[in-house]
Protein backbone atom coordinates (compact mmCIF):
# COMPACT_ATOMS: atom_id res chain seq x y z
CA UNK A 1 0.00 0.00 0.00
CA UNK A 2 2.73 2.48 0.93
CA UNK A 3 4.59 1.80 -2.34
CA UNK A 4 1.66 2.73 -4.59
CA UNK A 5 2.36 6.05 -6.34
CA UNK A 6 -0.20 8.64 -5.20
CA UNK A 7 -0.64 11.82 -7.20
CA UNK A 8 -1.47 14.88 -5.09
CA UNK A 9 -4.54 15.54 -7.24
CA UNK A 10 -5.91 12.06 -6.49
CA UNK A 11 -5.49 12.78 -2.80
CA UNK A 12 -7.36 16.09 -3.16
CA UNK A 13 -10.22 14.49 -5.09
CA UNK A 14 -10.48 11.69 -2.51
CA UNK A 15 -10.67 14.23 0.30
CA UNK A 16 -13.38 16.21 -1.49
CA UNK A 17 -15.40 13.02 -2.10
CA UNK A 18 -14.73 11.80 1.44
CA UNK A 19 -13.22 8.61 0.05
CA UNK A 20 -9.98 6.80 0.59
CA UNK A 21 -7.27 7.62 -1.98
CA UNK A 22 -6.55 3.89 -2.09
CA UNK A 23 -10.18 3.20 -3.03
CA UNK A 24 -9.94 5.67 -5.92
CA UNK A 25 -6.63 4.23 -7.10
CA UNK A 26 -7.89 0.64 -7.08
CA UNK A 27 -11.51 1.14 -8.13
CA UNK A 28 -11.95 4.61 -9.57
CA UNK A 29 -11.77 3.62 -13.21
CA UNK A 30 -9.31 6.33 -14.16
CA UNK A 31 -6.09 4.42 -14.75
CA UNK A 32 -3.28 6.77 -13.95
CA UNK A 33 -0.44 4.27 -13.94
CA UNK A 34 0.52 1.20 -15.92
CA UNK A 35 0.79 -2.00 -13.93
CA UNK A 36 2.79 -4.96 -15.17
CA UNK A 37 4.36 -8.17 -13.96
CA UNK A 38 7.67 -9.60 -15.08
CA UNK A 39 10.31 -12.05 -13.85
CA UNK A 40 12.37 -10.49 -11.07
CA UNK A 41 15.49 -11.32 -13.11
CA UNK A 42 14.40 -8.55 -15.54
CA UNK A 43 14.01 -5.86 -12.84
CA UNK A 44 17.44 -4.24 -13.26
CA UNK A 45 17.16 -4.19 -17.05
CA UNK A 46 13.66 -2.67 -17.02
CA UNK A 47 14.53 -0.19 -14.30
CA UNK A 48 17.58 1.05 -16.24
CA UNK A 49 15.56 1.29 -19.48
CA UNK A 50 12.88 3.34 -17.73
CA UNK A 51 15.48 5.61 -16.15
CA UNK A 52 17.25 6.11 -19.50
CA UNK A 53 13.94 7.20 -21.04
CA UNK A 54 12.83 9.36 -18.08
CA UNK A 55 9.87 7.05 -17.38
CA UNK A 56 8.79 6.77 -13.73
CA UNK A 57 9.18 3.16 -12.59
CA UNK A 58 8.09 1.93 -9.17
CA UNK A 59 8.16 -1.66 -7.97
CA UNK A 60 5.13 -2.02 -5.71
CA UNK A 61 5.29 -5.69 -4.82
CA UNK A 62 5.52 -9.21 -6.10
CA UNK A 63 3.21 -12.04 -7.05
CA UNK A 64 2.84 -15.28 -5.16
CA UNK A 65 0.72 -18.36 -5.62
CA UNK A 66 -2.65 -17.71 -3.99
CA UNK A 67 -6.08 -19.35 -4.03
CA UNK A 68 -7.53 -17.01 -6.73
CA UNK A 69 -7.55 -13.78 -4.76
CA UNK A 70 -5.66 -10.54 -4.73
CA UNK A 71 -4.24 -9.26 -1.48
CA UNK A 72 -2.61 -5.99 -0.49
CA UNK A 73 -0.12 -5.66 2.34
CA UNK A 74 -1.16 -2.63 4.40
CA UNK A 75 1.15 -0.06 5.96
CA UNK A 76 0.88 -2.04 9.19
CA UNK A 77 2.06 -5.22 7.45
CA UNK A 78 -1.30 -7.03 7.45
CA UNK A 79 -2.75 -8.66 4.35
CA UNK A 80 -6.06 -7.25 3.11
CA UNK A 81 -8.11 -9.19 0.53
CA UNK A 82 -9.11 -6.94 -2.37
CA UNK A 83 -12.53 -7.56 -3.85
CA UNK A 84 -12.63 -6.70 -7.56
CA UNK A 85 -15.26 -4.00 -7.98
CA UNK A 86 -14.81 -3.18 -11.67
CA UNK A 87 -15.89 -0.03 -13.40
CA UNK A 88 -19.10 0.90 -15.21
CA UNK A 89 -19.15 3.83 -17.63
CA UNK A 90 -22.40 5.78 -17.40
- In order, the DSSP letters of 19-65 are --HHHHHHHSS---S------GGGHHHHHHHHHHTT-----------
- Checking if the pLDDT of 50 tops 90, the result is yes
Q: How far apart are the first and last CA of the chain?
A: 29
User: How far from 81 is each of 2, 5, 24, 28, 30, CA to CA, in Å?
Assistant: 16, 20, 16, 18, 21
- In this prediction, residue 1 carries a pLDDT of 59
Q: pLDDT averaged over the chain?
A: 82
Amino acid sequence: EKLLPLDLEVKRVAESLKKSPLDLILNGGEEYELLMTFPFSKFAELSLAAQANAIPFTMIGHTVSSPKRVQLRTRLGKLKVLNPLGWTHF
